[in-house]
A and B are shown apart, each in its own frame.
Chain A
Amino acid sequence: MAAKKHSLFEPEILRQAAAASFSKLHPRSLMKNPVMFVTEAGAFLTTVSLFFRPADEPLGFGLQVAIWLWFTVLFANFAEAMAEGRGKAQADALRKTRTRTMANRVREDGSLEKVSAESLRKDDVVIVSAGETIPGDGTVIFGVASVDESAITGESAPVIREAGGDRSAVTGGTRVLSDRIKVAITANPGESFLDRMIQLVEGAQRQKTPNEIALTILLSALTIIFLVVVMTLKFFGIYSGVSFSVTVLVALLVCLIPTTIGGLLSAIGIAGIDRLVQKNVLAMSGRAVEAAGDVNVLLLDKTGTITLGDRQATEFLPAKGVGVEELADAAQLASLADETPEGRSIVVLAKRFGLRGRNLAEMPNARFIAFSAQTRMSGVDVDGRKVRKGAADAVRNFAGGRFPPEVEDAITRVSFQGGTPLVVADSARILGTVYLKDIVKGGLSDRFERFRAMGIRTVMITGDNPLTAAAIAREAGVDDFLAEATPTDKLALIRKEQASGYLVAMTGDGTNDAPALAQADVGVAMNTGTQAAKEAGNMVDLDSNPTKLIEIVEIGKQMLMTRGALTTFSIANDVAKYFAILPAMLIGAFPVIGPLNIMRLGSPQSAILSAVIFNALIIVALIPLALRGVHFRPLGAGALLRRNLLIYGLGGVLLPFPGIKIIDVAVNLFHLA
C-alpha cells in the first residue's frame, strides 16, 4: 500500500483538488496564510470596484484583472489541495488496513468477550488466533505467532512476533497466520501511529514547523512593506497628478507580494511528508522531516546498514603441519549443526575443497553440539573425535592450552583486517583458523563521501571489538566508529554530539534502543522493532531497512531547499513585474518614460494584465516542482548555493521578462486589453 506511488496528475486527485480550491476560499482558512489572504482581499476589492471604476477604465480590463486575481488564490489553494490529495490517497490506503474487526478482549476474571476494535483502550488485553486480524497496535505479552504484515509493509513473507525481546510489537490491521498470541493494546483508538500518520498527511493535524513559521514571518513582512508601498503610491500619484485606480494598485500589490512561495509553501511541507511515505517511512511530525535535513551526525548500525547482515567464511588458514583439506573437512563437520548464516557459509566454502555436502542423517552415531551464544562454539562428537569450531577464546578453553604461534598470528591478522577469526580444533589439536569476513555493502563509501561534502559525519555503531570495527570503518569509509557499543554508550555518544551543537540521527529497533531513539533529533524506529522503540522515535520505517536513514536525510534537505529556492525565485520575479507595471502606470502622465517599458509591452492595460496573468500562472507552473522537490544533489554548501542561486535567483530575475512578453503578445493578439 504505502509503497504505491501516485503519479503527479492522477485524475481523481485533480478533481478533488479542484473542488477543494473553492472551499478553501473561505477567509478563515486563508487567514493562516497572510500572503494569500491579502491576495484574496485584493481580488474582492477589485471585484467590488468594478462598480465604481473611473470613466477611462474599460470594464473588460477590470473584470479580467479581478478574474485573474481570484485565479491566483484558487491556484494557490489548488496547490495545497493537490498535496493534501496525494496525502489523502496514501491515508486512504492506510485506512483500508483497519477494516472493522472484532476483538476478543480478556476480562479481569480471565474470560473472553467480543468487542469491536474501536472500543479497545490502552492496556486492554486481547487474544488473537490464527486467521484473525490484530485489532490495534500493541505488544505481545504471551505466545509466539507468525504474522502477515503485508498490509503495512508490502512484504509478503510472514514475520515472527513473540512475547519478550525485540520482536514483540504488533501493528493494528496485520493478520495472524499461525498460533495464538495475547496482545496488550498500547494505543487508544485515534492515537496509534497510523492514525497520527493519516492526520499528518491529510493536513488536518499539520502544524507549521519552526522554519515555516520564520519564513511566514518574513513573507508577511514583505507583504506589509508592499502594502505600504502601494498605499503611499496613491498619495505620490496625487502629488504627481496621476490618479491610480483601485484595480491598478491592487494588481501592482498582488504582483509584488510573494504569492508564488506564499501559494506553494504549505504544499511543499505536505509533499515532503508525502515523499517519505512513498519511501515507506512514517514521520510523526513535519518538524522531524525538517530536522532530518539539518542532521550533522548519522549513527549507523554496522549490521544491516554498512555490512550485509551475515558474515561469510572466505578462507581457511591451516596450522603448521595441517593440510587445507583437513582443516576444511573438520570445519565443515563442526558446522553441520550450526544453522547460523556464518555456519552455513563455512559448509559452502568447504565444498570448494572437493568435499561433498554431508548431512546429519549420514552420521547416526554422531552427537552434534549446536552453536549457542553461551558456549560460542559448535561441533560434533563422532568416532571418538571431538571436533569444535568457534570463537578463539572459547576454543582455547576447550582445547585447554595455547595456540601455535602461526595460529595466533592468523587470529590477529584476521581481526586487524576487520574479519572474525574462528578456530577449529580436533580435541586438543588445533587445526587452523577460518576467516569470517564482514561484507561491506557496495557504493557506500561514495555515498559517505558525498555526505562529508554536505557536512554530515557518519559514525558506525558496532558490538565488534575496536580492532575489527576500525578495519570495517576503514573499508566502508565512515568517519568514526563506536566499538563494543552498549545502548548506554550509544545514548552517551548522542548526548556528547548534541552538547557540541550537532543534530543526530539514528535508527534502532530494540527496547534498549528506546532512550537513544528518544534522545536523537531524528530517531527512525524499525517497524519490526518493539513498541517502545516505535514510541520513542519520531519516524517509523515500515521496511525496517536501516540504510533508509540516508534517504530520509536527503528528503529533509530537499524539502528545505525547495522552500528556499521558491522563495528566492518569488522575490526575484518582482524586478520584471515592476518593469511591466510601473511604466504602464506612469506613462499616461509622463509619456517621456517610454524607454522604461523595456519589454515593449503593447499597451498600459495589456502590460498590467499580462503581469497579473503571469503571476497567477507561475503558481500552477511550479506545482510539480513544489510537490516533487527541487533536484537534489549531494554537494557542499558553497556549490549548492551557487547552483541554486544561478537557477532560482538569476533565473527568477530573467524568466518573467520573456514570460510576461509572451502573455502580452497573446493578450494583444486576442484584443483582451
Chain B
Amino acid sequence: MDLYGWMQLALFLGLLLLVTRPMGVYLYRVLDPEGKTFLDPVLKPVERLIYRLMRVDPRSEQDWKRYAVSLLMFSLVGTVFTYAVLRLQHLLQLNPQRVGPVSEHLAFNTAVSFVSNTNWQSYGGESTMSYLSQMVALAFHNFVSAASGIAVAAALVRGIARHTAKTVGNFLVDLVRATLYLLLPLCLLYALFLVSQGMIQNFKPYETARLVEPTAEKTQIIVQGPMASQVAIKMLGTNGGGYTNANAAHPYENPTPLTNFLQIFSIFLIPSGLTYYLGKMVKNRKHGWSVWGAMAVLFLAGVLLCWWAEGAGNPRLHALGVDPAGGNMEGKEVRFGIFASALFATVTTDASCGAVNSMHDSFTPLGGLVPLLNMHLGEVVFGGVGTGLYGMLVFVILTVFLAGLMVGRTPEYLGKKIDSYDVKVSAIAVLLLIFDIMVFTAWAVVSDWGLAGRSNAGPHGFSEILYAFSSATANNGSAFAGLTANTWWYNTTLAFAMLIGRFFFIVPVLALAGNMAKKKVVPESGGSFPVSGVTFVLLLVGTVLIVGVLSFFPAISLGPIVEHFLMVRSNAIF
C-alpha cells in the first residue's frame, strides 16, 4: 500500500466530491421536463421532434403502474430487436470480418444482458459481433438501459419528494431527456478525449501485423472498429460490456494511465451526482450528502481490503522465491499495477459496471471477495446509474423502519410514515435478489452443466459459479473470468438471473415510488428520525452490511473464505 496508491485514492475521492454537486444540479434540470439546460438551443427541437414521432405528451405524467408498463414494454421491444439483429448480423451491413449469426441462446443471453444494463458477455466481442451489432444492438442499449435506470431513480426520488400525488413522472420523457441532454453530450466529449489518448474509432477490417519476435506464430490479428464511441457509454452508463474480450485491459480499450483513471472515475460520475439530486429534490441536502457519505465509507472499506489483499500477495508463491513486494500480479496489466487494478475492480462492482482492467479470477481469495461482496450488497455503493440510488433508497427505507421504532415513533422517512406496504415491496425487492443468486448457484453447483463450466475445482470453482450468478443478478456483467459460460445452460440460466435481477427489482421500486408519492408529509420536528449525520451514515452502512453479510456469509465461507485459509494455512491444491 504505497504512497502513490494513497495519492491516487485521495485524488479520486477528492475529484468525486468536487463533481457531485455540479453533476447533481445538472441532473436536477435534465430530470425536470420543464428544466432548462444550456443545450436547449440545440437539443430542444430534437426533443420535441422525438415526442411528436412517439406521440408523447411531455406534460402528461404516469402513475407508477403505467410508468412500469412503459418501461417493461420498452425493454421487451429492445430485447426482441437486439435478438433479431444478432441473429441476422451476417445478412446485414457493416460486417467486414464476415462473422456468422450469433447462436440462439447466446443471442438471447446477450439481448437480455444489454437491455438489463448488465453487459454480461458470454462471448468475445471481436470474434462474435459485427460492427453493426456492436453499434446498433449493443451501444444503443448501453444508452437506453442506462437512461432507464436513471428514469427509475428519478421516479422514486419524485415519489419521496412529492406528497399526496398520484403520478411519478413520464417514463418516455425521462428516458429521452436523460439520453439526449445527459448521456449523448457527455459521451461525445468523452469519446473525443479517448480518441485523443490513442483509442481507435474506425470501420476498418482487422489488421494483420507481423510479430517482431516471431514464435510459432508469425502474425497477429489486431482488432479494429468503432471502439471509443462504445467505451465512453460503457463506462459512463455503468454498462461495462467490453468492445474486446480483454475489456479495459486491452491496450486499445485503455491506452494510457489517464484513460485508466478517467474510466474508473466516469463509472461513479452520474451515480455520485444522483445523491445530490436526491438531496436537492427532497429539500434536504444533508440527507443527500449522508447517502453519499455512506456510499463513500463502503467504497473505502472495499478498496482498502482489496488493495491490501492484492498487495500482500500469495504466501505460497513467496515460499517459492517470488518477491513479496510485487504483490499478486497474476491476471493484472503490468501497466496498471496493484492499486489501479484493485481500484478498478472495487469501483466496477460497487457500481453495476462490470468493465474490468484485470482478471478477478486471479485475485487473491480476499481480494476477489471484495467484488463478490460488493455485488451481494446489491451494488449500492454509488452503484449503477440510477440503480445504485434506488437500490440504496430501498436500504434507507429498511434502515429507517428497523431503527426508526427506537426513537419511539412509527418510523418516518422525510416526514412520511413507513407503512406495511413500503416494507413489503422493499423486502420483496431485496428477497428476490438474494433468491436469484442463491437458488441458481445451488442448482449450478450440483448439476453437470454447472460444474462443466469451471476452470478450477474446489472452493475457487465454487466462487466462479457464485460470481457468475451474482454478477448476472446484480446486473454487473463482470466475470470471474474462469467460467466458460457460452453454453445453452449457462446462457439461459444467466439470462433469467439478469431478467429477475433487473425487472423484479424495478417493479417493487416503482411500487414504492407510487406509494410514497401518495402520502401526506408530517413536518419535521425534534422527534423526527434523523436522516443525516454521522449516526445515520453508520446506521445505513450497518444495515447494508448486515443484510448482505448475513445472507451471503455461508456461501462466501465455502468460497473465498475457505480458499483464503487454504492458501495461508495449508498446501492443499484442487
Contacts and interface: CB of A to CB of B under 8 A. Distances in A.
A596 B404 CA distance: 33
Interface stretch (A78-86, A402-410, A450-458): A450-458
Interface in A626-653: 632, 636-638, 640-642, 644-645, 648-649
A236 B535 contact: no
Contacts of A213: 420
A214 B550 contact: no
B203 interface: no
B566 A592 contact: yes
Name the residue among A290, A594, A644 with the largest chain B CB count within 10 angstroms. Answer: A644
A567 B405 contact: yes
Interface in B401-437: 401-410, 415, 418-420, 422-424, 427-428, 430-431, 434-435
B442 A236 contact: yes
B551 interface: yes
A405 B409 CA distance: 55
A234 to B, nearest CB: 8
Nearest to A647: B406
A558 B434 CA distance: 34
A448 interface: no
A228 B522 CA distance: 38
Interface in B427-454: 427-428, 430-431, 434-435, 438-439, 441-443, 445-446
Name the residue among A238, A457, A592, A594 with the largest chain B CB count within 10 angstroms. Answer: A592
A235 interface: yes
A215 B525 CA distance: 24
Contacts of A560: 405, 408-410
B408 A454 contact: yes
B405 A561 contact: yes
A121 B414 CA distance: 49
A225 interface: yes
Name the residue among B402, B406, B446, B555 with the largest chain A CB count within 10 angstroms. Answer: B406
Interface in A432-477: 452-457
B551 A564 contact: no
Contact of A637 (B424, B527, B565): B527
A218 B555 contact: no
Given A214-B423, A225-B551, A501-B520, A595 B558 contact: no
Interface string A572-602: 1011001000100010001011111000000
12 contacts: A214-B422, A215-B405, A217-B424, A221-B427, A221-B428, A226-B551, A236-B442, A452-B526, A560-B408, A564-B407, A574-B550, A596-B565
The 10 closest A-B pairs by CB, nearest first: A455-B527, A564-B405, A455-B525, A557-B408, A221-B427, A235-B442, A564-B406, A214-B420, A501-B522, A232-B442
A561 B539 contact: no
A645 B403 contact: yes
B462 interface: yes
A590 to B, nearest CB: 5
**Contact size range, B:** 35 or more
A210 B421 CA distance: 10
A296 interface: yes
Name the residue among B445, B533, B554 with the largest chain A CB count within 10 angstroms. Answer: B554
A595 B557 CA distance: 13
Given A210-B420, A501-B520, A221 B442 contact: no
Interface residues of A, dominant DSSP: helix
Interface string A248-269: 0000100010000000000000
Contact of A293 (B410, B428, B529, B539): B410
Interface in B520-574: 520-523, 525-530, 533, 535, 539, 542, 546, 550-555, 557-558, 561-562, 565-566, 569-570, 572
A211 interface: yes
B368 interface: no
B459 interface: yes
B523 A500 contact: yes
A235 B434 contact: no
Contacts of B550: 226, 256, 571, 574-575, 578
A474 to B, nearest CB: 21
Contacts of A649: 403, 542
A617 B398 CA distance: 28
A207 interface: no
Contacts, number: 204
A563 interface: yes
A239 B566 contact: no
A642 B406 CA distance: 9
Name the residue among A239, A590, A593 with the largest chain B CB count within 10 angstroms. Answer: A239
A229 interface: yes
A565 B408 CA distance: 10
A568 interface: yes
A564 B402 contact: yes
**Contact size range, A:** 35 or more
Contacts of B522: 296, 501-503
Given A590-B562, A592-B566, A232 B439 contact: yes
Contacts of A99: none
A242 to B, nearest CB: 8
A294 B522 CA distance: 11
Given A214-B401, A235-B442, A578-B553, 13 more contacts: A210-B410, A210-B420, A211-B410, A217-B420, A221-B428, A229-B551, A232-B442, A239-B446, A252-B554, A454-B526, A590-B566, A592-B572, A596-B557
A265 to B, nearest CB: 12
Contacts of B521: 501
B527 A454 contact: yes
A233 interface: yes
Given A239-B446, A596-B565, A501 B434 contact: no
B554 A233 contact: yes
Contacts of B552: 229
Contacts of B446: 235, 238-239
A119 interface: no
A497 to B, nearest CB: 10
Contacts of A238: 445-446
Contacts of B445: 235-236, 238-239
A649 B545 CA distance: 13
B554 A645 contact: no
A224 interface: yes
A340 interface: no
A574 B527 CA distance: 30
A214 B427 CA distance: 11
A596 B18 CA distance: 41
A238 B401 CA distance: 38
A214 B459 contact: no
Contacts of B542: 649
B565 to A, nearest CB: 4
A240 interface: yes
A276 to B, nearest CB: 15
A256 B546 CA distance: 12
A240 B405 contact: no
Interface string A405-429: 0000000000000000000000000
Contact of B535 (A215, A293, A563, A638): A638
A595 to B, nearest CB: 7
Contacts of B459: 240
Contact of B526 (A455, A557, A567, A595): A455
A636 B565 contact: no
A560 B407 CA distance: 8
B455 to A, nearest CB: 16
Contacts of A231: 442
B435 A228 contact: yes
A636 B533 CA distance: 14
A522 to B, nearest CB: 13
B118 to A, nearest CB: 22
Contacts of B407: 561, 564, 637, 640-641, 644
B139 to A, nearest CB: 37
B527 A636 contact: yes
A193 to B, nearest CB: 25
Nearest to A237: B558
